[in-house]
Structure 1
Amino acid sequence: MGLSFTVLGSGSTGNATVVSSGDKMVLVDAGLSMKKMDELMRGQGVSGHQIDALFVTHEHSDHIKGLGAFARKYELSIYANEATWGGMERHIGTIAPEKRVIMETGESFTFGSMKVQSYPISHDAAEPVGYTFECDGEKLSLATDLGYMSDKVKREIIDSDVLVLESNHDTEMLRMGRYPWNIKRRILSDVGHLSNVAAGEALCELITDRTKRVYLAHLSLDHNMMDLAMLTVNSILENNGMFYKKEEHPLRATYHDRPTAWDEVRRK
Structure 2
Amino acid sequence: MTMHFSVLASGSTGNAIYVETEEHSFLVDVGLSGKQMEGLFQKIDRSMDKLSGILITHEHSDHIKGLGVVARKYNVPIFANEKTWKAMDGLIGDIPLDQKFTFEMETVKSFGSLDIESFGVSHDAAEPMFYIFHHEGKKLVLITDTGYVSDRMKGIISNADIYVFESNHDVEMLRMGRYPWNVKRRILSDFGHVSNEDAAIAMSEVIGDHTKRIYLAHLSKDNNLKDLARMSVTQILERKGFIVGEQFSLYDTDPKIPTVLTAV
Pairwise CA distance, 1:263: 1.1
Runs of 4+ displaced beyond 2 Å:
none
Q: What TM-score, normalized to structure 1? A: 0.97
CA distance in 2, matches of 1:155, 1:75: 36
Q: 1:250 corresponds to which residue?
A: 249
- 1:7 is paired with a residue whose SS is strand
Q: 2:233 corresponds to which residue?
A: 233
CA distance in 1, matches of 2:250, 2:244: 10
1:127 partner letter: E
1:256 partner letter: P
1:136 partner letter: E
Gap runs ≥5 in structure 1:
none
Q: 1:103 corresponds to which residue?
A: 103
Pairwise CA distance, 1:124: 0.2
- Correspondence 1:43-82 to 2 at 5 A: 43-82=43-82
Q: 2:20 corresponds to which residue?
A: 20
Structure 1 stretch displaced more, 110-119 or 124-133: 110-119
Q: 1:115 corresponds to which residue?
A: 115
- Correspondence 1:34-45 to 2 at 5 A: 34-45=34-45
CA distance in 2, matches of 1:245, 1:71: 40
Report % sequence identity.
50
Q: 1:205 corresponds to which residue?
A: 205
Q: 2:261 corresponds to which residue?
A: 262
Q: Any idea what the Cα deviations from partners look like across 1:193-239, whole Å, max 9, x if unmatched? A: 00000011011111111100000000001000011111111110111
Q: How many residues align?
A: 264
CA distance in 1, matches of 2:7, 2:48: 15
Q: What TM-score, normalized to structure 2? A: 0.98
Pairwise CA distance, 1:241: 2.1
CA distance in 1, matches of 2:27, 2:198: 27
Pairwise CA distance, 1:171: 0.1
* Contact 2:237 2:244 (C-alpha < 8 Å) held by counterparts: no
Q: 1:10 corresponds to which residue?
A: 10
Q: Any idea what the Cα deviations from partners look like across 1:119-150, whole Å, max 9, x if unmatched? A: 00000000000100011000000000011011
Q: 1:124 corresponds to which residue?
A: 124
RMSD: 0.8
CA distance in 1, matches of 2:79, 2:39: 23
2:150 partner letter: S
2:89 partner letter: E
Pairwise CA distance, 1:245: 3.2
Pairwise CA distance, 1:108: 1.2
* Contact 2:230 2:250 (C-alpha < 8 Å) held by counterparts: yes
- 2:208 is paired with a residue whose SS is coil
Pairwise CA distance, 1:102: 1.7
Q: Any idea what the Cα deviations from partners look like across 1:18-39, whole Å, max 9, x if unmatched? A: 1011211001000000001011
Gap runs ≥5 in structure 2:
none
Q: Any idea what the Cα deviations from partners look like across 1:63-100, whole Å, max 9, x if unmatched? A: 00000110111111110011101111211000111111
